[in-house]
Amino acid sequence: MTDPRRPLRVAMLSVHTSPLDQPGTGDAGGMNVYVTGLARALAREGATVEIFTRRTSGAQPDVVPLADGVCVRHVSAGPFEGLDKNDLPGQLCAFTAGVLRTEAWREAGWYDVVHAHYWLSGQAGWLAADRWDVPLVATMHTLARVKNAALAPGDTPEPAGRAIGEEQVVDAADALVASTAQEARELTSLYGAAPERVHVVEPGVDLDVFRPALVSTDGLDRAAAAALVDADRRSRRAALGLPPDRPLVLFAGRVQLLKAPDVLVRALGVLRDHERLVPTLLVLGGASGRATAVRELQALAAQLGVEDRVVVRAPVPADELAAHMRAADVVAVPSHSESFGLVAAEAQAAGTPVVAAAVGGLPTVLDDGATGVLVADHSAWTWAEAIGDLLDDPERRAALREAGLAASPRFGWDRAAKEMLAVYADARSVRSARARARG
């Protein structure tokens, strides 16, 4: 039983990617943002959170403070470097042993709940939760069967072993956390999850970082206000070393087939061929999966004659990402699969219209035609029309901006943390009931 007189202690597991890593390259992405944002918010609610992740460098200290009440623990499991995500199942035994050793030198009953992120963490968390007799909560983030059903042309399917491992975690977890109702349905229909153990908790956005530019439009009609905002965006582009008088479309994420930045490059080619205005496409991201991914994207731009319109830069920290969003006319999220779509939610909060693929959780983030634009397919023609038409219509962009800003407060991390604490409490009840049923 948890002592109500002390803070809740959460062992949070993130095996394959550290919350200290910069999102946007390698295996670091939205999950890193999720783990960090949730852990900080749980600590603000009074919990103590320890995040266990695999050590990837001998220089990493054993423990790194992340915020008041939150630390990151590096666990040695296999070679520090040279392993990708597909190599990690063979290191789960070593990782789990490292997690268990951390608890072993403390008093019994130290942790109150294990919260595992992604299926690899779920496998380790399953053993830790059983050893400590505490509930296992699992957030899957992505699902193999969902990703394989929406593969980009030429992409590699997720291995069968992953789907089997996911099934095991789904069965073992006392609570499963889905980011959207769509993901909850996928857990029940594709993995046989018990509906009463699936909880929908929408991820959050750091609303102190992702906020609109401070441009006063009081007393102005929509057209005049839109012109003032566009002028502010031009000055921000100039400060970032980008062409100020050319519209800017921003893609922020890993450069890989799943995230589909190639769709945007092909859309620029369509705009060029039809003699429409071709914006600058700024890609903030690094290669993921294939080391040559960035060079391949640049080669595609050259092949289509739009190499002078495509700028690729390394991913940036959250405050700089927000600054780039405020400089952009449109943020594009063309992914083939997204369990939620944090970039879309962050862009809305920063006051930038979003054009996104109508996949996964993105229709939850965006209300098509009201707070954003959803694109039904991944055709370069469709995307060219969606982006081109929006860039040609400043008043429509202004309307999307206003509606998006009005909707963005629902995605605060503090709200998500309160809901997650309720999930933890429910998971304790489920674990107790399952133990009684076993006799």
Number of folded domains in the chain? Answer: 2
- Looking at residue 42, its pLDDT comes to 98
CA 240 to centroid of chain Cα atoms: 25
338 annotated ligand binder: yes
Question: For 14, which DSSP code?
Answer: -
The answer on 394 and 248 residing in a single domain is yes
77 annotated ligand binder: no
Pairing of strands 70-75, 63-67: antiparallel
Rounded Cα–Cα distance for residues 116 and 125 (Å):
6
The answer on 416 and 306 residing in a single domain is no
Task: Judge contact between 258 and 269, C-beta under 8 A.
Answer: no
- Looking at residue 424, its pLDDT comes to 98
259 annotated ligand binder: yes
CB within 8 A of 341, min separation 6: which ones? 30, 333, 335, 356, 360, 361, 362, 364, 365, 366
- Looking at residue 355, its pLDDT comes to 98
Question: Looking at residue 184, which CATH number applies to its domain?
Answer: 3.40.50.2000
The answer on 323 and 313 residing in a single domain is yes
The answer on 274 and 182 residing in a single domain is no
Task: Judge contact between 147 and 158, C-beta under 8 A.
Answer: yes
The answer on 83 and 36 residing in a single domain is yes
Residue the block writes with tokens 């499991």: 77
pLDDT < 70: residue spans in the chain: 1-5, 215-220, 222, 439
- Looking at residue 21, its pLDDT comes to 87
Which candidate, 260, 290, 283, 35, places its Cα nearest to that of 137?
35
326 annotated ligand binder: yes
118 annotated ligand binder: yes
The answer on 161 and 86 residing in a single domain is yes
The answer on 368 and 429 residing in a single domain is no
The answer on 93 and 242 residing in a single domain is no
140 annotated ligand binder: no
Give the model confidence (pLDDT) of 276-316 as tens digits: 999 999 999 988 878 899 999 999 999 999 999 999 999 99
Residue the block writes with tokens 């405050």: 319
1 annotated ligand binder: no
418 annotated ligand binder: no
Domain of residue 270, residue span: 222-410
The answer on 154 and 40 residing in a single domain is yes
Long-range contacts: 224-228, Cβ < 8 Å, 24+?
225/398, 226/394, 226/395, 226/397, 226/398, 227/394
The answer on 423 and 307 residing in a single domain is no
346 annotated ligand binder: yes
The answer on 285 and 181 residing in a single domain is no
- Looking at residue 281, its pLDDT comes to 98
Write down the pTM of the prediction: 0.92
123 annotated ligand binder: no
Rounded Cα–Cα distance for residues 16 and 309 (Å):
35
